[in-house]
Amino acid sequence: MTALTTPPPAGIRDRRAARTLASRVLGYAVLIFFGLVFLYPFVIQLGNSLKTEPGAAANPLSPLPDPLSTAGFERIFAGTNFPLWLGNSLLVTVLVTLGRVFFDSLAGYALARLRFRGRAGLFAAVIAVMAVPGVVLLIPKFLVLNQLGIYNSYAGLIVPLLADAAGVFIMKQFFESIPVSVEEAARIDGAGVFRTYWSVVLPMARPALITLTILSFQGSWNEFPHSLVSVQDPDLFTLPRGLADLVSGSLGKGTQYPLKLGAALLATIPVAVLFVIFQRYFVRGGNEGTEKG
Q: What pLDDT, in 10s, does the model give residues 145-203?
A: 999 999 999 999 999 999 999 999 999 999 998 888 888 888 888 888 888 899 889 99
User: Reduced to 3 states, what is the DSSP secondary structure of residue 179?
Assistant: coil
Which residues are CB-contacts of 168 (< 8 A; sequence separation ≥ 6)?
104, 107, 108, 111, 126
Residue 52: DSSP 8-state: -
The whole-angstrom separation of Cα 215 and Cα 85 is 21
What pTM did the predictor assign?
0.81
pLDDT, tens only, 3-32 = 555 666 666 766 777 788 888 889 899 999
pLDDT, tens only, 218-247 = 999 999 999 999 999 999 999 999 888 887
The number of beta carbons lying within 10 Å of the beta carbon of residue 94 is 14
